[in-house]
């Protein structure tokens, strides 16, 4: 959906939608001129947590015939699953789906500063100066990017793990950030998106649905005050190894 919005394919009430455009029950929503029904978020919002394996792509149809994440999802009547952000084909971990366009937009829009937490394995070890550079900001071809937090998680041999938090979701931004300081990410796992973490019990390729109570808590969390100057709290998360 985010890609469709950026391409100008989505219309709300006859106007081209942008990232963050609010969609409410009664609004006229269309994709490529085809009308879609807007679900009542207060009653019908559903959210799935999916543990995406490497090798699957986040698209509905792939001309190359590769496995897509949507083939794993339960069928819906009168609604459709929307992915909240994306993960590239080589990245695994937490991927969220919802039936609510408003919820998806709120989770993805930069002004909400929703954190994404990753475990990244690289070849080699960052120096203190390189870690400081990633925290201060690195110039990429599409603008500056930085880690909100960055922690050394250790490793063996030439492989080293880092835990990092970012408040944006540009295409391959974590990999490009490490490449900018001379490192290649050999494995990348998203372990948290906003207030939702990847459950340890959820194996690759498995999914679970939030309860109505958990969806309500998520919607309430999105209404939290946003302070642009705030720094995300540093917290110790469980180590990820593979």
The rounded Cα 151 to chain-centroid distance in angstroms is 20
Mean residue pLDDT across the chain: 86
Ordered DSSP codes for 189-207: EEEEETTEE--TT--TT-E
3-state secondary structure of 6: helix
Among residues 170, 167, 175, the alpha carbon closest in space to that of 143 is found at 170
Task: For residues 1-21, give the mean pLDDT.
Answer: 78
Active site residues: 88
Query: Can 2-111+195-222 and 115-193 be said to share one CATH topology?
Result: yes
pLDDT of res. 84: 95
pLDDT of res. 63: 84
Task: For residues 30-43, give the mean pLDDT.
Answer: 67
- Pairing relationship of beta strands 149-154 and 159-166 according to DSSP bridges: antiparallel
69-78, 108-117, 202-211, 219-228: lowest mean pLDDT where?
219-228
**Dist. CA 147–CA 131, nearest whole Å:** 9
Q: How many CB atoms within 10 Å of residue 220?
A: 10
Looking at the structure, give the CATH architecture of the domain made up of residues 115-193.
2-Layer Sandwich (3.30)
Q: Domain 2-111+195-222: what homologous superfamily? A: Pseudouridine synthase (3.30.2350.10)
- Could you tell me the pLDDT band of residue 176, with boundaries at 50, 70 and 90? very high
Every domain of the chain and the residues it spans: 2-111+195-222, 115-193
- Under a CB-based contact definition with an 8 Å cutoff, are residues 62 and 71 in contact? no
Ordered DSSP codes for 159-191: EEEEEEEES---TTHHHHHHHHTT--EEEEEEE
**Dist. CA 37–CA 59, nearest whole Å:** 21
3-state secondary structure of 30: strand
């Amino acid at each position: 959906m985010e890609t469709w919005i950026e391409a100008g394919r989505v219309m709300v009430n006859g106007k081209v939608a942008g990232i963050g455009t609010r969609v409410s029950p009664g609004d006229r929503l269309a994709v490529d001129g085809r009308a879609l029904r807007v679900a009542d978020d207060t009653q019908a919002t559903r959210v799935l947590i999916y543990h995406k394996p490497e090798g699957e792509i986040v698209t509905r149809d792939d001309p190359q015939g590769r496995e897509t994440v949507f083939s794993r999802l339960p069928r819906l009547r009168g609604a459709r699953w929307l992915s909240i952000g994306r993960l590239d084909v080589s990245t695994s971990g937490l991927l969220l789906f919802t039936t609510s366009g408003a919820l998806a937009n709120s989770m993805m829009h930069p002004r909400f500063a929703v954190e994404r937490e990753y475990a990244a394995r690289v070849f080699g070890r960052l120096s203190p100066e390189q870690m400081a550079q990633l925290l201060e900001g690195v110039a990429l071809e599409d603008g500056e990017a930085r880690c909100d937090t960055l922690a050394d998680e250790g490793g063996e041999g030439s492989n080293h793990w880092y835990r990092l938090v970012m408040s944006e979701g540009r295409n391959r931004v974590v990999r490009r950030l490490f490449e900018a300081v001379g490192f290649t990410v050999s494995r990348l796992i998203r372990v948290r998106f906003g207030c939702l973490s990847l459950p340890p019990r959820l194996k690759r390729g498995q999914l679970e649905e939030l309860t109505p109570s958990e969806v309500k808590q998520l919607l309430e969390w999105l209404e939290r005050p946003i302070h642009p100057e705030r720094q995300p709290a540093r917290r110790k998360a469980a180590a990820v190894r593979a």
